[in-house]
Chains A and B, each alone.
Chain A
Amino acid sequence: MALEVSYDVIQVTLLSLYVSGCATILGSAIGIPLGALIGLKEFGGKGLLKTITYTMYGFPPVVSGLAIYYLFSRAGPLGSFGILFTPTAMILAETLLVIPLTTGITIASVAEVDRSVKETVKSLGTTPRQSVLTVMREAWVGLVMAAMIGFGRCIAEVGAAYMVGGNIKGETRVLTTVIMLETRQGHFDYALGLGLVLIAVAMAVFFFLRLLQEKELL
């Protein structure tokens, strides 16, 4: 082999999955309930809040990275946690990117549930909390889609991961940052190979999520 591989591909792949998976779970745990509340409750400024949420779809990853970097840098307000250049910082930065997506898609998904379903549920005597949970269940396909899109953003993300992770060998190196590194070093074949690994990993996760989405909830 002409080139020496200076990292463990399996470890890098697993770390990519870990960071993206945790950020997706966290981002969904926050964004999905938030989106359901925004989508189902009537309050002043709702339209503006929706517009802000949708605008945040295009939130630049480097800005999210910058925010986490500032907060957790040694001189930052949360510097004492010492998580900068760790997978935890990467998860937090990517969670910030996932939240607007899961929130926005959930808002649209619960709004899509037929008004007569919402009225039937209310008419049957549900408490407000029971109503929201039932409508969320009716919007199941959309909610899983929210998680899928969130995961898609994380697994493909490089700017924030690089900024707050630092691409440290054996610690914070993930597939996207290593592809960037290999490309810079002129190792196009390796970069391409890792790109294929990235796509294969994403495909496997999406396959699982699609099964979850299509599962008939009985």
Chain B
Amino acid sequence: MSDAVVLKNITKRYKDVTALKSVSLTASKGEVFGLLGPSGSGKSTLLRIVDLLEAPDSGDVEISGETVHSDSKEAFHTRRRIGMVLQKPMVLNRSVENNLAYALRIRGWSEEETQKKVDRELKRLGLEERRKKNARTLSGGEMQRLCFARSTIFDPVLLLLDEFTANLDPANVALLEDMIRNYASENKERTVMVVTHNLFQARRMCHRIALMWEGEVVEVADKKRFFEAPEDERTAAFVSGELVY
């Protein structure tokens, strides 16, 4: 498998707090990579850096073999190959169908192509009948599914998920996880990075997992080894539930 995301010695400070301490990681094409760790461990900051929403103080970010910078004028070209879903579903104040179409229109898709693609997605989401309704009238679960669909409708090579099911009920969690598993397995060129503090979710979804702790990567291992034979004692304590945070 070739590398989709390579992070080299990423450091990030906010005033007196060091959020990331020389973090290096690699996520390969075709894998679902989990970033696990307690709140405040730097997982979300790392994901924001990969999405080029923030610049690291030092270190390099490579996406599909290219070194990228969030402050460059071309950063939006890179962002156009990345989808991101946040914890809080963030829909625009417009109809369900126009939320989906938005991601395509900003990319210059023709109206005909956009409508075709949107129709297909609405069918998949089961929201055809509510396509004309304002997206803010949807339930939390529906909104999050809409956000997921909006972030994948343009077929990104990299999908970033930041605690994407934290506010959802189990039924909606299962639905979304299924959608993501399908998305990842449809094309082996796609990579998914999932930030979560939910051990069960990491176990259900990820191929490889990194444990982050106070801004550092403590351990990276494939799922089986991570849960069954962790090398670091903090990982062992975390997966056994002994580590209270």
Could you tell me which A residues sit within 8 Å of B by CB distance? 114, 116-117, 119-128, 130, 134, 137-138, 140, 216-218
Is B80 an interface residue, CB under 8 A from the partner? yes
Q: List 28 A-B contacts (CB under 8 A).
A: A116-B90, A117-B90, A117-B92, A119-B86, A120-B90, A121-B92, A122-B53, A122-B76, A122-B79, A123-B79, A123-B82, A124-B102, A124-B150, A125-B76, A125-B77, A125-B80, A125-B81, A125-B103, A125-B106, A126-B106, A127-B76, A137-B92, A137-B93, A138-B93, A216-B134, A217-B93, A218-B94, A218-B95
Is B98 an interface residue, CB under 8 A from the partner? yes
- Which residues from B are CB-within-8-Å of A216? 134
Cβ A124 vs Cβ B103 within 8 A = yes
A218 to B107, CA, bound (A): 20
Query: Nearest Cβ in chain B — how far from A192, in angstroms?
Result: 43
Could you tell me which B residues sit within 8 Å of A by CB distance? 51, 53, 76-77, 79-82, 84, 86, 88, 90, 92-95, 98, 102-103, 106-107, 132, 134, 147, 150-151, 154
Cβ A218 vs Cβ B86 within 8 A = no
Name the one of A119, A128, A134, A138 contacting B53, with C-beta atoms under 8 angstroms.
A119
Tally A-B pairs: CB < 8 A.
59
A137 to B98, CA, bound (A): 13
Name the one of A119, A122, A124, A140 contacting B151, with C-beta atoms under 8 angstroms.
A124
Query: Nearest Cβ in chain B — how far from A58, in angstroms?
Result: 33
Cβ A140 vs Cβ B93 within 8 A = yes
Cβ B90 vs Cβ A114 within 8 A = yes
A137 to B102, CA, bound (A): 13
A58 to B61, CA, bound (A): 50
- Which residues from A are CB-within-8-Å of B102? 124, 134
Cβ B94 vs Cβ A126 within 8 A = no
A121 to B105, CA, bound (A): 12
Q: Nearest B residue to A125 by beta-carbon distance?
A: B80
Name the one of A116, A125, A128, A218 contacting B132, with C-beta atoms under 8 angstroms.
A218
A216 to B53, CA, bound (A): 30
A51 to B132, CA, bound (A): 42
